[in-house]
Structure 1
């Protein structure tokens, strides 16, 4: 007998849970990786940067490949493959004693994420579209972000408990979590995506100028979000208690996403794409200006950065779930996995290029990062807001949650004017 397909809501919650488990395993290791490489392995700062950069480049650069493979072989197969690759990567990361071994481990951990992340997003988008009584794609991606952030919040605490034993113990814990995640995906995810059109080709997507423009403009979101890991810690590095303040900043950001993402998305409701996504970008631009503004008012550096981080989180919560939900609509009939992958790859390129170009302006002085650096950082999301407003106002003033299967993006046809299901 043919296996009965899982209900869309079951698939949706499986993907949301899988994202939380993936973040738990990932963030149990990554916050301690730089210290392990420098203190435990004796690598120079330059080599630590090479290893960390290899992981980021492998993941972000190969997202579009992972998405295309998910369209070709189905998201379940890519999810299982990604978990398997990460298991091998984390074991090698804990046991590797040479630079080539560590580089290979870093690339494998990045490749694993590039395989399963687009598969997660494409599966969630489709399941939300098939759930006729469900709340809509925006709400599902809000759950995806909020529940996933719980894993990101608990991961460092879990890793820290085992770090006293050894870094290898932490890596084996993460490998075990990804092994368990693979079992969950094997049981819960659909065996193959039935998209109603041939899959696996990303050429039509690359010929879609409208979607390419959207992906290029939206890349500013990931670039600005990355300043939570780059510019804001640099600002704190010039003050006393930098380590504690940085930990407080990350904890506050994760807690805000975990508790407020779903209410924020509910508040946005069915507002048009052309209003919601640019608004989120403008709030993120304001977050880059909050630090020099607070500094001018005499606020302590830690308070200024934590406040700026919370404003950044607010902008990200407004823009990101709506944009991810809109991919199914904006992609038209193009393969959804490849489209989600392209969105992430463009963001990775923006992070690498933007940090290289603006990075020289961020060298902290006695008072922190110069105001000119913060102004340059704010210009990126501000320009993105203008570009996205112009692009999305042309022919996409309706909400990002088109009708379920049969009337919208899930069938590969352009959606009609349907309000979001609440």
Structure 2
């Protein structure tokens, strides 16, 4: 069994993972910020077909998260991370160079599969670190993501003057570069590798404490992801949408140093606060706050706080609850539940907005109530939950083995 790195090894892992995040996020946001314009203007696809291609990517990514998370535990995060980067590079290359719908579908599948592989691989590397380094490393990982969310669209816009093919190929090159960065960690896996994808999933499904947390945290992805959807659907112009996205990303990044303190992000109060901030943002939009720039900035700040708190809260809690060698499986189950819930909820929100102003308001109120309900159910601190879980087998005389 190889133990987590300490000292220099921890720092090296964090530096490499943050560099990977910088490369792939710049490429992702540069390409995805302008993909709808490319599909609609350059290729002339109908809105329904554009929605199908984008939804297919999300569906593939979230559906595969369940088995892929456990696969990371078996094959190791470095191998899976390299494969993820190569798959996404191929997907972006296709996205910028093909025009037929079947090939666009292939591109969407490759992008979804790459995303399903990448996130558990990168986060498993961080989860294998010592607690202090893990908290700070994940904060740096998240800050890098949010900075790229601001810079990436600008990079894509500059390259778009030549053509979307250059945007997509640049994204592909950045993902290939990330694959080489993963290779720098090839001889130093931070967690031991275990056998059995199916056994990994079974371990998770038998853990009632974790499943309780997974259910409570499931709405987090829906209520945060829908912010970037409902604002443009509300009829604001491209400039206002850009301001909204930038403010959200900057606030989310600003929260990360606070979340970097070990033992802070996994407190149930942080999860509750994030969900309530998201609820407040949706309620403000339901009340018409998005119609003015000041109100839109306030909504963006609330959703930035929600995003900045919820992602570290989920990651750190999973890292606490999961056995060290099964983090991928635990993350995969939680991500799969959250992704499928967000997929279904996103379809419902889109359908509601098509019904007119009344439907839009109803959708925003339901999103807020969903976040409030989840916040009300967030209870035990992970340390207390782990103690209760481990005490149950001891009380019955059964020896509990952690893989």
| TM-score for the superposition, normalised by structure 1 | 0.83
Equivalence for 2:138: 141
3-state SS of paired residue (1:127)? coil
- Distance in 1 separating the partners of 2:173 and 2:74: 28
| Stretch deviating more after TM superposition (207-216 or 118-127) | 207-216
Greater helix fraction, Structure 1 or Structure 2: 2
Deviation at 1:393? 8.0
Among residues 86, 89, 99, which one is paired with 2:88 in the alignment? Answer: 86
Cα deviation code 1:353-380 (max 9, x no counterpart): 21233444334757x9743332111011
Q: Distance in 2 between matches of 1:24 and 1:110?
A: 17
The 8 Å contact of residues 23 and 174 in structure 2, kept in 1 or not, is answered as yes
Which of 258, 270, 273 is 1:279 aligned to?
273
Relative to the length of structure 2, the TM-score reads: 0.87
Unmatched 5+ residue regions in structure 2? 388-400
Q: How far apart are the structure 2 equivalents of 1:272 and 1:35?
A: 39
Deviates more, 1:279-288 or 1:69-78: 279-288
Aligned residue number for residue 46 of structure 2: 44
Residue ranges of structure 1 left out of the alignment (5+ in a row): 130-134, 399-411, 415-422
Question: What is the alpha-carbon distance in structure 2 between the residues aligned to residue 67 and residue 265 of structure 1?
Answer: 24
Structure 1 pair 69–370 and aligned structure 2 pair: CA distance change class (3 A):
closer
Instruction: State the alpha-carbon separation in 1 of the partners of residues 365 and 262 from structure 2.
Output: 28
What is the rounded CA distance, in whole Å, between the counterparts of 2:324 and 2:382 in structure 1?
20
CA apart distance, 1:40: 0.9
Provide the rounded CA distance (Å) in 2 between the counterparts of 1:7 and 1:357: 46
Contact kept? 2:251, 2:308, Cα under 8 Å = no
Match of 1:346 among 332, 337, 341: 337
Aligned to 2:173: 176
CA RMSD of aligned residues (A): 2.6
Alignment of 1:11-410 (within 5 A): 11-129=13-131, 135-192=132-189, 194-195=191-192, 198=195, 200=197, 201-235=200-234, 237=235, 239=236, 242-258=237-253, 260-266=254-260, 270=264, 273-293=267-287, 295=289, 300-332=291-323, 335-363=326-354, 365=356, 370-389=360-379, 392=381, 395-396=384-385
1:49, CA displacement in angstroms?
0.8
The Cα of 1:196 is off from its aligned counterpart by 7.4
Q: Give per-residue Cα distances to partners, 1:326-354, cap 9 Å, x unaligned.
A: 21221246611121122222221111121
CA offsets 1:219-271 (integer angstroms, 9 cap, x no match): 21110111222212222x1x5xx11111111111122223x133332579637
| Cα distance in structure 2, aligned partners of 1:63 and 1:280 | 23
Give the 3 Å change call, closer, same or farther, for CA 104–300 of structure 1 in structure 2. closer
Do the aligned partners of residues 35 and 315 (structure 1) sit closer, same or farther apart at CA in structure 2, a change above 3 Å counting?
same
Question: What number of residue pairs does the alignment pair up?
Answer: 382
2:392 corresponding residue in structure 1: none
